Structure 1
Amino acid sequence: MQSALAGLSLLVLGDSHWAANGYLVTTLQDQLIQRGATVNSFAACGAPPSAWLSARVASCGTAQRLQRGALQNKTGSDARTTPLDDLVRQYRPNMIAISMGDTIAGYVQRQTPADTIREEAMALTDRIKRLGIPCIWIGPAWGTEGGPFLKSFARVQEVSAILARSVSPCAYVDSTKLSRPGEWPTFDGQHFTLDGYRAYGTALAQTIAQMPEVRAAAQKR
């Protein structure tokens, strides 16, 4: 396991699930590193995927973590995304991981914003395709129903299905297949407790490490 992903240089673009210690930026990132990968992650809380096409302020903050370094957070006007092209030039990844879904799910809306979800996903994947870098897209997990975000299992399932059809050429990681609805505890319906993130991170790490697309990227050093 220690060298299964040796040679993989992974650039992660995430949402709020990557923005605090104990979240995926700790649990998943550390487990991928343990398998031999180099992982640099950047998160924008509350921002859609298209926010990574230019420098934009993220309404509730940004975060970044380079390998096993400390998590660095910014808020207010300093919380700006770094354009994907700039991140690729600096970190030279051989794979990109997008971990977004809740930010564009529109849980508070009566109807699922299907067109917006597709447009947001395609805006980012089109840029990645032009860069010629293989990618994976991690979709939303079940969470628990209710809370301030009004998350529901039915909406998660619908959003996941839309993303699965929209993120090509990225391989899709269906987080709903990793647990039962409501299995992993949350504190607000959307964000998991530390126990929940440990379970989610472990399940994702095992899944990602077995993906043929990921293993192929790791072999291209």
Structure 2
Amino acid sequence: MHPLLAGLTILMIGDSHLTHKNTLVASLPEAFVAQGAKVVTYGLCSSKPEDWVDEKPLNACGYTKRIGTERINVSMDKNDAPPNIQTLMQQWHPDAVVVVFGDAMAGYSQPKMPTDWIKDQVHALVENIGSTKCVWIGPTWGHYNPRYGKTDARTVELANLLNKEVQPCHYVDSTKLLQSKDVSTEDGLHLTTEDYTKWSKAIVQNVEPMLEKGQ
């Protein structure tokens, strides 16, 4: 069978859900590579879309660069951070960009979601991706923990906003990929290894048709 994504170069960037070893970075690249794609992945813990537009993103709690399915190494060096999106686009010339953002800009601990601020940074990243095919993966469910303050209501509010604002990127609403009652987390925000694998499989099923040539 001819791989569905043969010949495509995919650039993936995102926050902590795409950074540490037991997260999406452990399974999404494998799934896309298995379909013939060349995949380059960059994760920056606690990052927001606007951080990737800045001249030099800051490493607050971990940075990962993974080429294909090579070994995952997370750098905690504060001076070690990924290039910005402009540089990455010029370096890799991707056919598609997959981004994983949402939780770090939701303002979970704030009384109101910072809607205008979210719109500004979303538009800035999308503008820098330009006409390249783009898929935006929104956050999935979690559980309330005072450390992050994540709630189902704010997660849904954010998902609805992103669905409207990330265009022309395709939007994948991860709240519709898994059921809240079935999601387990380590700290209210970050999933267990098992549930990151479930989330990854659901993402791939939705994203692959969007990335096929001609779509």
TM-score bracket, normalised by the shorter chain, equals: over 0.9
Which residue does 1:77 correspond to in 2? Answer: 78
SS at match of 1:10: strand
Q: How many residues align?
A: 214
Q: Which of residues 201, 211, 215 is equivalent to 2:212?
A: 215
**What aligned pairs does 1:179-198 form with structure 2 within 5 A after superposition?**
179-198=178-197
Could you tell me how far apart the structure 1 residues matched to 2:138 and 2:2 are?
26
Letter of the 2:133 counterpart? P
Could you tell me how far apart the structure 1 residues matched to 2:129 and 2:6 are?
23
Shift of 1:2: 6.7
Shift of 1:35: 1.8
**What aligned pairs does 1:16-165 form with structure 2 within 5 A after superposition?**
16-53=16-53, 54-129=55-130, 132-146=131-145, 148-165=147-164
Answer whether contact 1:42 1:65 (CA < 8 A) is retained. yes
Could you tell me how far apart the structure 2 residues matched to 1:6 and 1:72 are?
26
Shift of 1:150: 1.1
Provide, for residues 39-89 of structure 1, a one-character-per-residue CA deviation record: whole Å limited to 9, x for no partner. 111011112111112212121121111101122322243232311121122
SS at match of 1:123: helix
Could you tell me how far apart the structure 1 residues matched to 2:181 and 2:101 are?
19
Letter of the 1:139 counterpart? G
TM-score, length of structure 1 as denominator length: 0.91
TM-score, length of structure 2 as denominator length: 0.93
Could you tell me how far apart the structure 2 residues matched to 1:119 and 1:193 are?
32
**What aligned pairs does 1:9-20 form with structure 2 within 5 A after superposition?**
9-20=9-20
Relative contact order higher in (CA < 8 Å, ≥ 6 apart): 1
Q: Structure 2 vs 1, CA of residues 69 and 2 (structure 1 numbering), >3 Å: closer, same or farther? A: farther
Answer whether contact 1:12 1:40 (CA < 8 A) is retained. yes
Could you tell me how far apart the structure 2 residues matched to 1:60 and 1:50 are?
17
Structure 1 residues without counterparts, runs of 5 or longer = none
Could you tell me how far apart the structure 2 residues matched to 1:2 and 1:24 are?
25
Answer whether contact 1:144 1:182 (CA < 8 A) is retained. no
Provide, for residues 152-192 of structure 1, a one-character-per-residue CA deviation record: whole Å limited to 9, x for no partner. 00000000111111111111111111011131211111101
Q: Structure 2 vs 1, CA of residues 5 and 60 (structure 1 numbering), >3 Å: closer, same or farther? A: same
Could you tell me how far apart the structure 2 residues matched to 1:103 and 1:15 are?
8
Could you tell me how far apart the structure 2 residues matched to 1:199 and 1:188 are?
18
Answer whether contact 2:16 2:44 (CA < 8 A) is retained. yes
Which residue does 2:4 correspond to in 1? Answer: 4
Letter of the 1:170 counterpart? C
SS at match of 2:3: coil
Could you tell me how far apart the structure 2 residues matched to 1:140 and 1:56 are?
21
Shift of 1:147: 5.0
Could you tell me how far apart the structure 2 residues matched to 1:4 and 1:48 are?
31
Letter of the 2:120 counterpart? E
Could you tell me how far apart the structure 2 residues matched to 1:58 and 1:26 are?
20
Letter of the 1:175 counterpart? S
Shift of 1:146: 3.0
Instruction: Please tell me the root mean square deviation across aligned C-alpha atoms, in Å.
Output: 1.6
